[in-house]
Amino acid sequence: MKRKGFGFSLPVTAVILVIGFIYFSTVFTFIDRWLSLASSPGIANAAAFTALALMCVYNYSIAVFRDPGRVPPNYMPDVEDPKSPVHEIKRKGGDLRYCQKCSLFKPPRAHHCRVCKRCVLRMDHHCIWINNCVGHTNYKVFFVFVVYAMTACVYSLVLLVGSLTVEPQDEDQEMGSYLRTIYVISGLVLVPLSIALGVLLGWHVYLSLQNKTTIEYHEGVRAMWLAEKGGQVYKHPYDIGAYENLTLILGPNILSWLCPTSKHIGSGLRFRTAFDSAPVSSGTKP
């Protein structure tokens, strides 16, 4: 996979600082105060949370640095290809989609990002928190990162609440003030962050089960309205069933769904659709 260039980003810096703060407060305050890092339960929880934090950082770094997918400079849609039944056209004029800014034809599900200033394959959205587009090649790692991040936040909240049940022993006033500050800041960070990540995860689970991107969801709302107005029934062309949709996005092996593997995604120039007569691997080159 290609890597994109990267410069300083305030949102990315903020995410890294929040991850670091949550990790150190969880391990060296909540776990140590509740279970003690010198005990077996304390060591086990510290090891589990450290592994979770490492997976968060690893998947986050891939989502940040991996190029979300570029349209090849020589790409040309073949309208006579029987294996490619879906050719997206412009809403007005009925022509094949062509990007005037990139001077390239757009493959199905590709869109131009005004921030990145180029077309992105299977673009979902531009995310300021990774300073990158979420697209064909990094959608899975973005999804997996959200899973690990939400799990880590909920885990940290449980440890925070558990540590509050411990009666303080031999804590001087200065240490007590320090701990109160840690708990207040942690609560103000973890509660809204857990809610936000939970909503975000739920949204992308919904999209994945229907094999839609965020852009396609909003386009589909309009298409459904127009279809109903004309007495027709709209069906998303890339929806081939909930489980099949998940395997196209997360991979055919369920054991690797939470790993940042992406060998199954293909080129991103065409995708299996509900109109295919035989199974075709996602992203098979035309």
Enumerate the active-site residues. Answer: 127
Minimal CA–CA distance to 279: which of 252, 261, 250, 254? Answer: 252
Euclidean distance between CA atoms 119 and 107, whole angstroms? 10
Euclidean distance between CA atoms 200 and 86, whole angstroms? 29
Look up residue 39 and give its amino acid: S
Helix H or strand E segment including 99: strand 98-99
162: which DSSP letter? H
Minimal CA–CA distance to 57: which of 8, 16, 28? Answer: 16
Q: CB of 145 within 8 A of CB of 134?
A: no
Encoded tokens for 7: 């410069």
Euclidean distance between CA atoms 115 and 95, whole angstroms? 25
Dihedral pair phi/psi, residue 3, rounded to 5°: -115, 145
> Please, which residues bridge with residue 105 across strands?
98
Encoded tokens for 185: 């800041």
255: which DSSP letter? G
Euclidean distance between CA atoms 2 and 250, whole angstroms? 19
Euclidean distance between CA atoms 122 and 16, whole angstroms? 27
